[in-house]
Structure 1
Amino acid sequence: MPQLYNVTAPRKATNLSLNSDLLAKARDLKVNLSATLEQALNDKLKSIEAEKWKTDNKAAIQVYNEFVQNNGCLGDEYREF
Structure 2
Amino acid sequence: MQAVEVTKGNRKPANLSVDSALLKEVEALDTNVSQSAEAGVTATVKLHKQEAWLKENAGALASSNAYVEAHGLPLARHRYF
TM-score range for the pair, normalised by the shorter chain length: 0.7 to 0.9
Q: Which runs of 5+ in 1 are unaligned?
A: none
- Structure 2 distance, partners of 1:77, 1:39, is 44
- How does 1:2-81 map onto structure 2 within 5 Å? 4-8=3-7, 9-81=9-81
Identity fraction in percent: 31
Q: Which runs of 5+ in 2 are unaligned?
A: none
TM-score, L = length of structure 1: 0.88
SS in structure 2 at match of 1:21: helix
Work out which structure has the larger RCO, using CA pairs closer than 8 Å and 6 or more positions apart in sequence: 1
What is the CA distance between 1:14 and its match in structure 2? Answer: 1.3
- Structure 1 distance, partners of 2:33, 2:18, is 11
Q: CA RMSD in A?
A: 1.7
Moved over 6 A (4+): none
